[in-house]
Every structure is written in C-alpha cells, then in structure tokens.
Structure 1
Amino acid sequence: MQLSDFSYHLPEELIAHYPLASRSASRLLHLDAQGQYHDRLFKEIVDLLSPGDLLILNDTKVMKARLKGKRASGGAIEVLVERLISSTTAYCHIKASNSPKAGAEIFLGEDEIPASVQGRHENLFIVEFSQSVLDILEQYGQLPIPPYFNRAAEAIDTERYQTVFHNPEKLASVAAPTASLHFDEDILAALTSKGIEQHFVTLHVGAGTFLPVRVDNIENHVMHSEWCEVPLSTVMAIQSAKARGNKIIAVGTTATRALESAASAHQGELQAWSGDTQIFIYPGFKFNVIDRLITNFHLPESTLLMLVSALSSREKILAAYEHAVAAKYRFFSYGDAMLIDLSST
C-alpha cells in the first residue's frame, strides 16, 4: 500500500485554527458499518450510543512542553520536552542553528534556568535540568499546539487544548487526545444518565504524532514510541460489556492504540498492560477490542488517517472525507468529529 493512497485535497480555510465557543458545538459525521455517512451534530452522540455501551477515554494531560532559551554562546534555542525520564531529566527535541553536543550548557526561560545536554537517545537529546522539569515547564513553558495552527499558543489554548476529564497526575503528553476535546461536562453527564459507562486508559502522546510518513510503501514505516497503560478496571469493564453484547467505543486514536496494543501484547486477548507501544494500525489490521471510534479529521498521508481507514476501508474513508470537504466540515485538532463503525464487510 502506497503513501499516495492516503492523500486527499483539503482547502486551507477548512483547517480549524481556533476552537468553537462551546466544546460540544462541533458537527459529527457518522460513517456506519455499511460505509454510508450521515451528517449529525456532536451533541447527538448520546442518541447514537446504547445503554450499557462503554466509552474508553485517554486521561493524559498535556504539558507546557515548549521552552525558549539560549546557548552559552547566546544563540537562541527551543526545547520541546518529549518524555520525562526522571524528575529532572527528559528526552527532548532541540531546535538550534547547530545541534548541541554532549556537555553543552543551555539556559531556559526568562530567568535563564541552567540545564545541560547529556547526549543523544535516537533522534532525541537527553537533557538534565537543574530543577524539576515539570516545575520549569509550569513556570516558563508554552503548550505545544500543533504546527498547522500557524500561530503561537494563546490563553484560550490553556483550557481548550486539555480535556475536561484529564488526570492532573498524568501530566506527560506533548499533544492532546483531540477527539476528547468535544466532550464537556453536560455531554458526559447525559451519557452517564443513559447508562453509557466511561472508563480510562492512558497514552502519553509524543511529538511524533505530527511527523510525516517518509516512505512510499507504508509497510516500511516505523512508528514512534509512546508509553501507555490499560488498567485492570478498564479491562474488566470491557469484558463485561462484550459479554452482554454491548459496544466498545474508543474516543480517539490514542485510546484505540492503547487498547489494541494491550491485546496485541497478549496474542489478541485484552489484558491489563503498560509499556511502550509502536503499534502501527493500517488497512488489513484485525481489531481485537474496539467496535466504534470517535475521532477527528486527520491530515492527508498521516498514520492517523491510515488507522481510521483500517476500521472501515480506505475508499469509504476518503469518500467520507470528500463529502466533509464539500460540506465544509472543520478539520484537525480543533475541528469537527467523526463516529466510525467497524466495517461489516
């Protein structure tokens, strides 16, 4: 399967650079199991799910992971914290005129907090901070909003680029699980009242989610690594729901990857699991856990577009996207949503 098979034309004006006034005011395109699509509103998600169904949500929290700074020589740098190793050490991306070498000292934030580059780990730098990484990020960092916003982070992003149900103790993502941004307290309460359970997994989203695929044959693509956890309580709830014939609805590609990683680690049987995942889901993948997916519209030729194509088919997804473009849906992180049913064919 070729990378170009997942291309589509998207007018620039359909990219959502800012969120709507209300989280749940988005539109919803429902792609059913037969490949037919239906124009809905996101608030109607309550009507599209059944009592006893399970929503699986990613409870990670986005760090203010982007730091401005300078080198000892005075040259400007930008540090993006990708992953915490300890309270004072992290894997980072560093943008500078020249790549810093091991032992290089850098200074971060307005108060020029010192840190040092310890070396490399694959394509990342190992940085030792002189204080708690999270404390530095909280005081000096900016939210690392997606590059296609074409703007710096603003005050509105502090609230709206976080889910309403994030776990404050799971502050480790550099991007939001954006399908979850549509859910507000009223929607969650309405789902609960209808008997639709909500359970959680954790996947700390890395900056690799924005990296382009650089191979023509997608089977040669190597996914970036991200840490995830599927707790026993969620596994037991899923098993109970499946036993009574209810559906498992993953909210977002991150929740999907966490669940399917946990199953793949146990020969297709879902069990409690935590660890690094590099799972790459594309057409031909056999889903072991989820029945439906709530997601946003994804970039052309992205691994996320490949994942949603595995649920339905490449042809049906691209046809739905063509309809969404014609109907002027809003795309990407602050855009509208899709509900995709696992294909019946």
Structure 2
Amino acid sequence: MDNSLNIPDDLKISDFDYDLPQELIAQTPIEPRDASRLLVVHRASGKLEHRHFRDIGDYLQPGDLLIANQSRVIPARLLGHRAETGGAVELLLLSERTDKGRDYWEALVRPGRRLRKGSRIVFADETQTVCLEAEIVEYTEAGGRVIRFFVPGQDTTTSDDPYSVLTVRQLIDRLGRMPLPPYIHEKLNDPERYQTVYARITGSAAAPTAGLHFTPHLLDQLRAKGVRVGFVTLHVGLDTFRPVEIENVSEHKMHSEEIFLDAPTAELINETRKAGGRVIAVGTTSVRTLESVASLHNGQIEPYQGATRLFVTPGYHYQAVDAMITNFHLPRSTLLLLVSAFMGKQLMEEVYQEAIRERYRFFSFGDAMLLL
C-alpha cells in the first residue's frame, strides 16, 4: 500500500523546522506515567488548555473509542565484533524479514561502509562466549542491510554449548539492549518504562511513545466512564529514526511497516462511528494504521494485515481519526508533517511555540498533546 501520491510538489521540509532548547528534550520518563503534562488543542477554535495527562478523561465521553498500538519494543541494539578483524559493530534491528527466510532481519549497521555483503559478525555474552553469529546478505534501498542470524553449534548434534538449544530470537532478547533514540543520553534504569503498559506483540524498533502516558488505573477509570479501548499493531521501523533529508517532501520515500487490524477491533470502530462516538488514535502509529486501512476501503474500516507506506502530509484528508493523542515530534520529521495535516500548519506552529514558552518536555519521554 503506497499512499505518497497527492503530495503537493511545493511542500518543503525546511518549512517544518523549529528551534528547540536542548534542555527541553526529556532525558528520563516522569513518574508516575500519567503525571506528564497535557496540552489540549481545540482545533476548531484554536483554544489551548494546560492540563496533566491524568485529566484526559475530562475530554473523553461515553461512547468514545481509544485505539492504541499494542506493539512491544524488541531489545534491538546489538553490540558485536567483526569475525574477520575484531572491529566493533553496532546493529539496530528494524524488522524481521520472514519473506527472506527464517532468522533474517533488516538492520542499520555501524560502521556501515566496512560491512559489506558476506561480512560476518559475532556476538558474545558477558563471559565473552560467542553465542550468536550473523552474516550480511544484501543491502536495502534505505541504506540498511539484510542480515541472517544463526546459532553456532546448532548444526552439530553433539554440541555441548548451552546456547545451541536457544533460538535466534531468544538470544536477541538475551543479548540486545533497549534501542533508545540517539537524543536520550541518560541511562534507563527500568527498560519497561520504554514499553506501554499494554504492549504485548513483539516487533518494534522504537516505542509508540504517545501510549507511554497511560497507567492501568487510568485505563480502568476511562473504561468505567464508558470509553472503550481497542488495539491495533504497527511495528515501528526505520522512519522513526530518519528525518526527511530531501527538501522536496514529495521525493521522500517512506519505509514499509507491517500493520494489523483484527476483526473485533474493526467492529468496535464501526460500531463507534455508527453510534456517533469519536475514534481517538493514541499516537501517530495508530493514526497511520487506521488511515491506511481506511484508504484501502474508501473510508471504511475492515480487518487488514499487511504492509503500509502511507505518508500523511498537509493536504491529506483524514477518513478514520476524529481526535489524536501525540507527543511533541522532531523538526523535519514525517511525524510533524502528519500532525500538521491534522491540525493545520499555522496552528501547529502556534502550539509548538506555546509548548516551548511553557517549558513542556519534548520527544519520546516528553509530554503529550490531545488534539480535538
């Protein structure tokens, strides 16, 4: 599914830049999760309200439906060494490539120039025992690599190696580290704080961060009020890490991401719309999932599993989402374009300047907006 059509030719990424004081980039998550601030934006009037995330129920009504992304972050950062030279290698796993075969992954690699096709990488545990190996098998259009992992000794039935009984996925979970964005420099003491409380389907290279503000108690409160909650899955991939580097936005190539919307969730959405309730997307990944499915079926929501390259920019007509919960996004990012399409560029600029004036915390561990 490719929806990069209809992007205006004169849309320039430099128009979606802004200056952010470094100290406003949140380095650690706030406790409790719902103590983060919430900037409520009324799109029709332009009115802004400064609240806390725990107050979000004041703006939701019985019959509304929250749709959240239940994808769980994999420990996608792997540190290894080149088998040939011993040089240090860092991998950032982006997505499993089952189309290539078992244990194939797409990844970003450093140092990229030295890791060519056929290069072998070894990964060791804390005792320096090599327990996982990988071979680079091909390049990707986006500048990454396709990598085949294997467990040394699994081909021999007489191996005494305890690691040889583990799968590649189990070893990645054991050896990998949480892939925090490069602008976060503080150590994360509890890796679960980079997961939503409802994350359950493993596969993302980054957290769907708008959902980090929910607590189980807050979700229970909302359900008790008559707000329903449904879940979709989008495994967050390469574009989260990559700003738009081409001035002409229409020339930017969106990376493909896997999405899944099941039949019960489709039914929830259709019931909500029929009854006059609002569909409120938790985060840009939920937005892209819902809008991708709607664009397939002339605005209708039906079950879907597959890939999407949907690129939402100003001028896009939203078909499935009535309101949105989202964090503050990086300058020149596809996510900033998506939010601009929802609230209008002028209002978006006013909102971001207000957030900077009021010292909101930005990006993954930062504060949130509710766009009504």
TM-score past 0.5 threshold: yes
Contact kept, 8 Å, 1:281 with 1:310, in 2: the verdict is: yes
Q: Are the structure 2 counterparts of residues 114 and 335 from structure 1 closer, same or farther at C-alpha, using a change threshold of 3 Å?
A: same
- Give the aligned partner of residue 120 of structure 2: 105
- Give the aligned partner of residue 149 of structure 2: 129
1:155 aligns with one of 184, 189, 207 = 189
Which amino acid in the other structure matches residue 194 of structure 2?
A: Y
1:182 aligns with one of 209, 213, 219 = 213
* CA positional deviation for 1:223: 1.2
Map 1:19-34 to 2 at 5 A. 19-34=29-44
- Quick check: 1:211 aligned with 2:242? yes
Which amino acid in the other structure matches residue 165 of structure 1?
A: Y
1:118 aligns with one of 137, 148, 156 = 137
1:46 aligns with one of 39, 46, 57 = 57
Alignment partners' CA distance in 1, 2:327 and 2:138? 37
Contact kept, 8 Å, 1:67 with 1:109, in 2: the verdict is: no
- Give the aligned partner of residue 158 of structure 2: none
Contact kept, 8 Å, 1:262 with 1:274, in 2: the verdict is: no
1:171 aligns with one of 190, 202, 206 = 202
List per-residue Cα deviations over 1:313-335 (Å, max 9, x = no partner).
01001101101100001111100
* CA positional deviation for 1:32: 0.6
Contact kept, 8 Å, 2:259 with 2:289, in 1: the verdict is: yes
Map 1:220-235 to 2 at 5 A. 220-235=251-266
- Give the aligned partner of residue 280 of structure 2: 249
5+ residue gaps, structure 1, are none
List per-residue Cα deviations over 1:150-171 (Å, max 9, x = no partner).
34x5332x1100000011xx21
5+ residue gaps, structure 2, are 1-10, 152-166
Consecutive aligned runs of 4 or more in structure 1 exceeding 3 Å deviation: none
List per-residue Cα deviations over 1:103-156 (Å, max 9, x = no partner).
2221013333222122223222221111333212211100100111134x5332
1:322 aligns with one of 344, 353, 366 = 353
* CA positional deviation for 1:236: 0.9
List per-residue Cα deviations over 1:13-50 (Å, max 9, x = no partner).
11101001210000100111322211111111011100
- Give the aligned partner of residue 305 of structure 1: 336
* CA positional deviation for 1:97: 6.4
* CA positional deviation for 1:233: 1.1
* CA positional deviation for 1:93: 1.4
* CA positional deviation for 1:98: 3.5
- Give the aligned partner of residue 89 of structure 2: 77
Alignment partners' CA distance in 2, 1:133 and 1:228? 23
Alignment partners' CA distance in 2, 1:195 and 1:186? 15
Contact kept, 8 Å, 1:100 with 1:117, in 2: the verdict is: yes
- Give the aligned partner of residue 58 of structure 1: 69
Map 1:248-267 to 2 at 5 A. 248-267=279-298
Alignment partners' CA distance in 2, 1:309 and 1:97? 34
List per-residue Cα deviations over 1:197-239 (Å, max 9, x = no partner).
0001000001321201011121222211111111111111111
TM-score, length-scaled by structure 1:
0.94
Is the partner of 2:113 in helix, strand or coil? coil
Alignment partners' CA distance in 2, 1:324 and 1:106? 44
Which amino acid in the other structure matches residue 322 of structure 2?
A: D
Which amino acid in the other structure matches residue 119 of structure 2?
A: A
Alignment partners' CA distance in 2, 1:256 and 1:133? 32
Which amino acid in the other structure matches residue 4 of structure 1?
A: S
Contact kept, 8 Å, 2:254 with 2:309, in 1: the verdict is: yes
**How many residues matched?**
337
Which of structures 1 and 2 has the bigger CA Rg? Answer: 2
Alignment partners' CA distance in 1, 2:301 and 2:184? 37
Contact kept, 8 Å, 2:291 with 2:318, in 1: the verdict is: yes
Which amino acid in the other structure matches residue 166 of structure 1?
A: A
Alignment partners' CA distance in 1, 2:371 and 2:308? 23
Alignment partners' CA distance in 2, 1:262 and 1:97? 35
Contact kept, 8 Å, 2:28 with 2:188, in 1: the verdict is: no
Which amino acid in the other structure matches residue 125 of structure 1?
A: R
Contact kept, 8 Å, 2:66 with 2:282, in 1: the verdict is: yes
